Amino acid sequence: MCGIVGIVGKANVNLALYDSLTVLQHRGQDAAGIMTYDNGKVNLRKDNGLVRDVFHTRHMRQLTGRMGIGHVRYPTAGSSGPALAQPFYVNSPYGISIAHNGNLTNVEDLRRDLYREDLRHLNTDSDSEVLLNVFAHELQRRNQRKMLPSASDVFDAVSAVHRRCRGAYAVVAMIVGHGIVGFRDKHGIRPLVFGERKTAAGTEYMLASESVALDSQGYSLIRDVAPGEAIYISEDGKVESRLCAEDSALRPCIFEHVYFARPDSMIDGVSVYKSRLRMGEKLAQKILRERPDHDIDVIIPIPDTSRTAAVELANALGVKFREGFVKNRYIGRTFIMPGQMQRKKSVKQKLNAIPLEFQGKNVMLVDDSIVRGTTCKQIIEMAREAGARKVYFCSASPPVKYPNVYGIDMPVVSELIAYGKTVEEVRAMIGADWLLFQDLQDLVAACAEGSSQAVEFECSVFDGIYITGDVSEEYLNKLQAQRNDATKLQKQNDQELYGGAGDEAQIPLLSNE
């Protein structure tokens, strides 16, 4: 999962890109990068680390220009390092850079075709670099010796990308000296929104993963980029759009609502905050169906993502809501930390219990999901140590039983606690006195209400149905080899041994004027 942003402005966009990436930091904490275009030069800074650590004053002074893109990265197959930070750049045609959120499922076929047929060299194992080269090749095919690409040329190239690439992708790409294009895969699995801001100098435009990035910079949300659609914003601010994919149908990833997106975002016309409130309502209804005579004394969320659902759960049940854990806000999101050892170590550093809220009480802990189960097991132990009489646990989503192939670094099946197990077996493993999961139909209903579009969702982590139709057992086995914790630990050790400095450069280009 990553965060992307692109801006075509009337003044330098470096600070707006930086601020937007800080707002999108929750989508990736591994690396960050910004690339801008200014008077014939591309300016780049990217490195491993948080946004605030990657960009210093000297970098921001170099990132001049009225057009640029940015990226925050979270590795989806354990790979890390400055070379894999985005944006990526290719020189031909024109000079194209890309920031990508998602994952291609036919990447091996694309690598082979790019090398053998398109005669393009790939420098990393990132599928984002593959996507960039496919787009660049298709644009070049349509622009032999053509100095200025038209919007139609760009849209034709995006259409070819849709024909060749399968999987999930939300993209912002900068065509140097010409404009920025944003597009989503034909299912709209990963989010992308489009907004504008009126200034005295004219209208500025932004594309971003979430609407909160628009809000933070004073942009108004125009709409979501439709599945299969491309929006092209020229350097002078002309906006054109086209539906570029055949058989497009909105099937966004439901885990955005469960965990990844900020609650103050709107995704495909649905308020993430409202969807999480409805998750709490649905949980309450299930509790009342299964245990109308429950003995819950207090509802306590596991901060932060589950808080909204927990508040509404408590309201619906008429039970006290209390904050029982204090979160250290200087520790990152444990779900997106590479390696199980680092993740396990961070839980105690991240949360501390308030004993007064637990002593002698039957406590219902609420979390957004249960993935490996190691975190919630430790939290349940913390609740008991704080004096809870009984510890109940409920998840705002169904059991996670299958790996994600569309851009979320979900563990392999052998590391998913619910895979092949009953709810009772999971309960015993995490040490809860009672365990409750959300029903999938209730989760879908909670996320679909209020939208005129999103009536279906990509739910593969819960139901094992991969909507692109190309995910085989062989593919999942390869994914398991890439994503298991032993492989990630080895890659992490290699990075510590061989890691280098970040990239910061000015790439001189021929003027088109």
Residue 434 CB neighbour total at 10 angstroms: 19
Q: Tell me the pairing of strands 351-353 and 325-327.
A: antiparallel
Whole-angstrom distance, CA of residue 392 vs CA of residue 298:
10
Q: How far, in Å, CA of 433 to CA of 10, rounded? A: 59
Q: What is the dihedral of CA 303, 308, 311, 312, to 10 degrees?
A: -150
Per the structure block, which two tokens stand in for 477?
A: 């086995």
Angle between helices 473-483 and 485-498 (to 10 degrees): 50
Q: d(Cα 318, Cα 294) in Å, to the nearest integer? A: 12
Please report, as a single letter, which amino acid is at residue 395. Answer: S
Q: Which two tokens stand for residue 140?
A: 């070049």
Which residues form the catalytic set? Answer: 2
Burial of 142 (C-beta count, 10 Å sphere; 0-12/13-18/19+) = middle
CA distance 153 to 96: 14
Tokens of 162: 């849709």
Instruction: Name the token pair of 251.
Output: 């099937």
CB atoms inside a 10 Å sphere around CB 344: 16
**For helices 127-141 and 107-116, angle between their N-to-C axes, nearest 10 degrees:** 50
In three-state secondary structure terms, 340 is helix
Is residue 364 classed as helix, strand or coil in its secondary structure?
Answer: strand
Backbone phi and psi for residue 199, each to the nearest 5 degrees, phi listed first: -130, 170
